[in-house]
Structures are given as structure tokens and as C-alpha cells.
């Protein structure tokens, strides 16, 4: 019989051998569950020593019923499906996985931006419909000489910044209240307030975390500040942008177009109003994905658990105050 039990709350990968290989090192059995409600999580994880979760709701009630759990590790950076205060109060380490997809998400943000700038999706549809020489019907503007605004300046935004340096942009503006201006300037960008970034940027790419203070940080008021030729890209979290305000801004020409990989809610409903529009490029929260990043994600999520169960700190800890008390 294995020394530990680790439950994976909800599935989405073809194989879980990477997790099993990592956790076998600490003699842990991996149990695959398929939970969609908090009560199902509570039942599956009641006697678990460790939990790995994707999107299943690991709320206060489920955490309260965990009898011996020592660690909850989430696939990915965001932990908004885990009740951090409840886990902390119970002495459970919460871990996530960072930096495994910086290249992929920055690639995706750049791909969405280029698709919007060059109107790839709409041109594709029109050519297939027999149109040609579309030209002035959909004017396209060169990238060189334009201004890029980055909302958030963490690892992904910095990677994107590195990649766009060859486009001969006039300026890169950064809004991030947690990164000092003296750390931004050496990278060749300028630290500004959000309103200035929105007013001046031709392209805006969002790379902020989802918190109570950032939810719908881009709404009706913010769209009114943007240029009518502006392009918005969101590969971070859907609720950072008010979906109704986004739809209205695109439909009414307040901004030119948008590239969207994340939604509120996810997946988008069949009647999602963005589906009506030609000036938006949509993908299925795929920015994180490559074969390499998925393998790293699975391995590192499991490694967090293995480390805690063996008495060590996880690679990435969300609530370090728990570790300090141990």
C-alpha cells in the first residue's frame, strides 16, 4: 500500500504518467477523479494527502472536509478556483506552476496581435467567399512607429517585449503598480499610469493577474480612452475585461479590433455576442499550450506535491505563511 494518496480532481490530459512518475518518488498513489462541483471535490479528496486541480472548485467547504491534506497544487498560474484563506487557515500549502509557458503565451499574444493588424481572419473568410483585392475596404496600417502598451509586466509581458523589439516600435508603455519604474526603464520601456497607456497606445496587451481589484479593469470608461484604431489583446484572464463593454467597443468602432484567448465565462456560451463580429480573432484559451509546456506543467504540478509530502517547500508557493508556521 502506498504511503500517500494524491487526488487529481478533474481531467483534461491524455496521459497522467508524468504525475505518476513524479509522485512515485515519494511512494504516492495517484487517484484520478472527475469533479465538477465542490461537493464532488469534497468527496474525492476527503482522505487525500495531496490534491492537484485544474478548474474544479476547491472551496472552503471542500477544504473543510479534508482530513489530512497537506498540499493543493494547481495546474497553471491562477488559483482563483482555490479558497486560499480557507486552505491557509487549515495549514494546507497552496502551490501553483509558474514560468512553464512564458514562450507559448507571449507567442500567442504576438500571433493574435499580428492577426488583428494584418486582418488575417477576416481576409481568410472573404477570400474563401470569392472576394479579392479587398484593399481599402479594410485598411491596414504598418506596425513600425506604433506604440505598444503592456498592462502588467511580469515574465510573460517581458518575454513579449523581447520578441517585439525587432518591429521598430516607437515606444513601449508599461502599467504595473508593482514593478518600479527603475526596473522598467532599462528594458527599453516607460512606466506610466493606466489612463495614459490607454490614451496613447496603438496596441494593448493584457498580462495582469485576476484579483478583486483587477476584475473588469478594462470596461466602458477605459474603452472610451482608447484610440479608434487601437487593438486589444487578452491572453491573461477573461474577467479582466468587461465582456459587454468589449462587445460594444468593437461593434461601435471605439476600437479597431481585438484578439481574445480568454473569456468570461469559459468556455463562452453559444450565444456569445463576440461571435457576431468580424473584427475580433478568437482562440480557445490555448495560449499556454505546446507539447513541451504541457509536459512541464504536469511534471511541476506533481513535483510541488511530492516536495511538500517529503517535508520540503514546493517549487511555487502561493501562501508561504503556512510554511513559516511549520
Three-state secondary structure readout of 241-282 = ECHHHHHHHHHCCCCCEEEECCCCCCCCCCCCHHHHCCCEEE
Q: Tell me: do 48 and 107 sit in the same domain.
A: no
Bond from prior residue into 267 cis (ω within 30 degrees of 0) = yes
Res 326: pLDDT: 67
Q: Tell me: do 114 and 246 sit in the same domain.
A: yes
- CA dist 18 and 302 (Å) reads 8
Q: Tell me: do 80 and 36 sit in the same domain.
A: yes
Q: Tell me: do 134 and 66 sit in the same domain.
A: no
Q: Tell me: do 131 and 152 sit in the same domain.
A: yes
Among 283, 234, 292, smallest CA distance to 109 is for 234
Res 80: pLDDT: 87
* Active-site residue flag, 237: yes
Q: Tell me: do 265 and 169 sit in the same domain.
A: yes
Average predicted confidence (pLDDT) for the chain = 96
Among 37, 34, 5, 52, smallest CA distance to 303 is for 52
pLDDT digits (tens, 9 = 90+) for 2-42: 999 999 999 999 999 999 999 999 999 999 999 999 999 99
- CA dist 73 and 53 (Å) reads 6
* Active-site residue flag, 108: no
Bond from prior residue into 151 cis (ω within 30 degrees of 0) = no
H helices of 151-228, where? 155-164, 181-184, 194-200, 220-225
Contact by Cβ (8 Å): 308, 50? yes
Res 134: pLDDT: 80
Q: Tell me: do 122 and 96 sit in the same domain.
A: no
- pLDDT band (50, 70, 90) for residue 105: very high
CATH of the domain at 314: 3.40.50.720
Strand pairing class (171-175; 231-234): unpaired
Res 18: pLDDT: 98
pLDDT digits (tens, 9 = 90+) for 36-94: 999 999 999 999 999 999 999 999 999 999 999 999 999 998 898 999 999 999 999 99
Check 119, 207, 237, 303 and give the catalytic one: 237
Q: Tell me: do 129 and 239 sit in the same domain.
A: yes
- pLDDT band (50, 70, 90) for residue 245: very high
The count of domains in the chain is 2
Mean pLDDT in residue range 306-314:
97
Check 224, 266, 276, 292 and give the catalytic one: 266
Check 54, 215, 216, 285 and give the catalytic one: 285
Range of the domain at 18: 4-100+290-325
Domain end: 247, 262, 282, which one? Answer: 282
pLDDT at position 271 over 90: yes
Mean pLDDT in residue range 261-272:
95
Q: Tell me: do 131 and 186 sit in the same domain.
A: yes
Q: Tell me: do 86 and 195 sit in the same domain.
A: no
Q: Tell me: do 84 and 190 sit in the same domain.
A: no
pLDDT at position 230 over 70: yes
- pLDDT band (50, 70, 90) for residue 208: very high
Q: Tell me: do 166 and 275 sit in the same domain.
A: yes
Res 72: pLDDT: 98
Res 178: pLDDT: 96
pLDDT at position 137 over 80: no
Amino acid at each position: 500500500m502506498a504511503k500517500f494518496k494524491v487526488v487529481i480532481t478533474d481531467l483534461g490530459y491524455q496521459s497522467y504518467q508524468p504525475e505518476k512518475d513524479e509522485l512515485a518518488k515519494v511512494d504516492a498513489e495517484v487517484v484520478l477523479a472527475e469533479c465538477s462541483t465542490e461537493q464532488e471535490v469534497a468527496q474525492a479528496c476527503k482522505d487525500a494527502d495531496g490534491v492537484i486541480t485544474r478548474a474544479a472548485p476547491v472551496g472552503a467547504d471542500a477544504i473543510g472536509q479534508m482530513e489530512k491534506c497537506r498540499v493543493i497544487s494547481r495546474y497553471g498560474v491562477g488559483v482563483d478556483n482555490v479558497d486560499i484563506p480557507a486552505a491557509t487557515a487549515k495549514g494546507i500549502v497552496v502551490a501553483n506552476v509558474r514560468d512553464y509557458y512564458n514562450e507559448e503565451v507571449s507567442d500567442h499574444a504576438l500571433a493574435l496581435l499580428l492577426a488583428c493588424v494584418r486582418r488575417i481572419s477576416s481576409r481568410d473568410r472573404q477570400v474563401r467567399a470569392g472576394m479579392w483585392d479587398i484593399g481599402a475596404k479594410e485598411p491596414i496600417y504598418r506596425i513600425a512607429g506604433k506604440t505598444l502598451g503592456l498592462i502588467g509586466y511580469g515574465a510573460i509581458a517581458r518575454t513579449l517585449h523581447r520578441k517585439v523589439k525587432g518591429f521598430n516600435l516607437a515606444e513601449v508603455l508599461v502599467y504595473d503598480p508593482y514593478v518600479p519604474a527603475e526596473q522598467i526603464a532599462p528594458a527599453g520601456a516607460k512606466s506610466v499610469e493606466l489612463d495614459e497607456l490607454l490614451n496613447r497606445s496603438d496596441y494593448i496587451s493584457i498580462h495582469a493577474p485576476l484579483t478583486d481589484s483587477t476584475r473588469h479593469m478594462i470596461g466602458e470608461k477605459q474603452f472610451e480612452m482608447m484610440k479608434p484604431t487601437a487593438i486589444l489583446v487578452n491572453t491573461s484572464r477573461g474577467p479582466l475585461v468587461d465582456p459587454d463593454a468589449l462587445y460594444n467597443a468593437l461593434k461601435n468602432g471605439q476600437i479597431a479590433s481585438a484578439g481574445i484567448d480568454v473569456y468570461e465565462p469559459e468556455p463562452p456560451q453559444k450565444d456569445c455576442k463576440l461571435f457576431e463580429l468580424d473584427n475580433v480573432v478568437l482562440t480557445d484559451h490555448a495560449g499556454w499550450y505546446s507539447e513541451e509546456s504541457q509536459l512541464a506543467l504536469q511534471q511541476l504540478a506533481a513535483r510541488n506535491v511530492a516536495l511538500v509530502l517529503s517535508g520540503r517547500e514546493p517549487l511555487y508557493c502561493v501562501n508561504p505563511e503556512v510554511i513559516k508556521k511549520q
